[in-house]
Amino acid sequence: MMRIGGIFALCAFIIDRLSKWWFIDVFDLTAKGTVKILPIFDVVMVWNRGVSFGFLSAESDLGRWLLVVLNLIIVAILTYWLRSARKIIIAGAIGLVIGGAFGNIYDRVKFGAVADFFQFHWENWYFAVFNVADSFIFVGAVLLIFNSTFGGDAGKKTKEE
């Protein structure tokens, strides 16, 4: 399962890096500002210095590197969990989270902040800006929750009960 998780992680990382390269270097989103795509969806360049959705903003270099270390610790824990995975869905989900985390770690190390650009909105309500790595992390987490709730082992009684 380590190999499967690794493949998912590598694919997620590569797709995230390609999307950020395209939006930043090819499309030059920084110069374009906000680009309307659909009535409820824009692309806009935002440099996120915090954790998720700008929470716990780390403006200083110390904060930046503390977030890098925290993310690496989380990746190490996920890798340990991946080693014990027995199902493809678990290995793939953990791999997506790891790959997405590495995509955001790369940004934080290289740029000092994470590049975000997708934004949904409804009239004057704007939702958090996110990127492809965040999407992989979200999908991986949802798959892990789904499996723990509805997977083959969910609901089975243990011998202790």
pTM of the entire predicted model: 0.87
Do 133 and 16 contact (CB within 8 A), yes or no? yes
Q: What angle do CA 153, 156, 161 make, to 5 degrees?
A: 135
Other Cβ atoms closer than 10 A to 115: 27
Do 40 and 121 contact (CB within 8 A), yes or no? yes
Look at the chain and count its residues.
161
- The pLDDT score that the predictor gives to residue 157 is 47
Do 30 and 45 contact (CB within 8 A), yes or no? yes
Confidence of residue 152 (pLDDT cuts 50, 70, 90): low
For residue 47, is pLDDT > 60? yes
Given 16, 42, 107, 116, the catalytic residue: 116
Encode pLDDT of 63-97 as tens digits. Answer: 889 999 999 999 999 999 999 999 999 999 999 99
Helical packing angle, 61-83 and 88-111, nearest 10°: 160
61 noted as active-site residue:
no
Structure tokens at 135: 């999407």
- What's the number of CA atoms in the CB half-sphere (13 Å) around residue 55? 5
For residue 52, is pLDDT > 90? no
| Edge-to-edge order in the sheet of strand 35-38 | 35-38, 41-48, 114-122, 125-126
134 noted as active-site residue:
yes
Instruction: Pick 114 or 155 by higher pLDDT.
Output: 114
Q: Domain map of the chain by residue range?
A: 2-28+37-150
Do 52 and 97 contact (CB within 8 A), yes or no? no
